[in-house]
Amino acid sequence: MQRLYSAFALSIDLTGRKKYMVERPSSELSQEAAVEVMSRLKQLYPGAKSALHYTTPFELLVATILSAQCTDARVNKVTARLFAKANTPQGILALGREELESIIQECGLFRSKAGYILGACQILVDEYEGKVPADLENLMRLPGVGRKTASVILANAFGKPAMPVDTHVFRVSNRLGLARGKTPKEVEEGLKRLLPEQEWNQAHHLLIRHGRAVCKARNPQCQICPLKDLCISFQIPGDGDTGTRKAGGDRPPASTA
């Protein structure tokens, strides 16, 4: 995917504020505009970090598996009860499937999630001395752990550069024009090309916060968005977020998923 650097031009208005003006339609923001997007997000959401509660890489692994199609707030309530009883692979295995399912039931899809957690625990005990591996390849060997979950663990538990792309990061990146793609991996690769490696972890949290607060899946708050002068979906009719726009619209529609 080729980045088009002339999508926005920098100018100064009469107040002295920098303005990023659209020169021509583009599928992605210019490097300069992208830097400004990240600067504003840092001001909007200082100290952005994971909303999941955890104290060890294993606790984050379990919490992230439970978070699929479940709110972070609900996961935190469930893991508070679960980790009070068991917060190691050995401890979870000792609980057994029936008790584990009863504890995590309100997270939804609890039978599948219990199977993933128990399967991951068994592998950790058998092959990794009960410790969560700190590399993408080995993390993705664990049941219930895909690329996004593995990247979340690398970034948050181990502080390694990673760019997890969940539904919020995918949506906001496509709408803004930071990185366009039809799959999370395409967006991940685009963001990694665009942003310095040392900013990947923070960018993930900033995009999630903006997606939850303003750039929502349905009824995005475009008119009050402090990024609207930079956002391709808002500025250029017909060049909205991949696979979620109606032709001719000048902002993400209310039906965006």
For residues 70 and 19, which has the higher predicted lDDT (pLDDT)?
Answer: 70
Average pLDDT over residues 135-141: 97
What is the distance between the alpha carbons of residues 240 and 237, in angstroms, rounded to a whole number?
7
Q: Which residue has the higher pLDDT, 174 or 12?
A: 174
Average pLDDT over residues 32-49: 94
Lowest mean pLDDT among 26-40, 85-99, 174-188: 26-40
Burial group, residue 43, by CB count within 10 angstroms (0-12, 13-18, 19+): exposed
Q: Give the DSSP per-residue string, 147-208.
A: HHHHHHHHHHHS--------HHHHHHHHHHTSS--SSHHHHHHHHHHHS-GGGHHHHHHHHH
pLDDT at 235: 80
pLDDT digits (tens, 9 = 90+) for 107-119: 989 999 999 999 9
| Mean pLDDT confidence for 196-221 | 95
> Is there a catalytic annotation at residue 148?
yes
Q: Look at residues 257, 167, 171, 165 and name the one whose alpha carbon lies nearest to residue 219.
A: 257
| Count of beta carbons in the 10 Å neighbourhood of residue 111 | 11
Closest CA to 86 of 119, 56, 128: 56
Using 50, 70 and 90 to split pLDDT, how confident is the model at 147? very high
In this prediction, residues 87-99 reach a mean pLDDT of 97
Does 8 score more than 70 pLDDT? no
- Mean pLDDT is highest, among 16-25, 156-165, 226-235, for 156-165
30 pLDDT tier (thresholds 50, 70, 90): confident
Counting Cα atoms < 13 Å in the Cβ hemisphere of 115 gives 3
Residue 238: what pLDDT? Answer: 54
The one catalytic residue among 13, 19, 135, 166:
166
In the chain the domains, ranked by start, together with CATH numbers, are 8-46+164-235 (1.10.1670.10), 57-157 (1.10.340.30)
pLDDT computed for residue 150 by the predictor: 97
Q: Which position among 42, 126, 148, 192 bears the catalytic label? A: 148
pLDDT confidence of residue 29: 86
Confidence of residue 234 (pLDDT cuts 50, 70, 90): confident
Question: What value does the mean pLDDT take over residues 13-25?
Answer: 40
Phi and psi angles of residue 11, each rounded to the nearest 5 degrees, phi first = -140, 170
166 is catalytic: yes
Q: Encode 46-58: b = buried (16+ Cβ within 10 Å), e = exposed.
A: eebebbbbbeebb
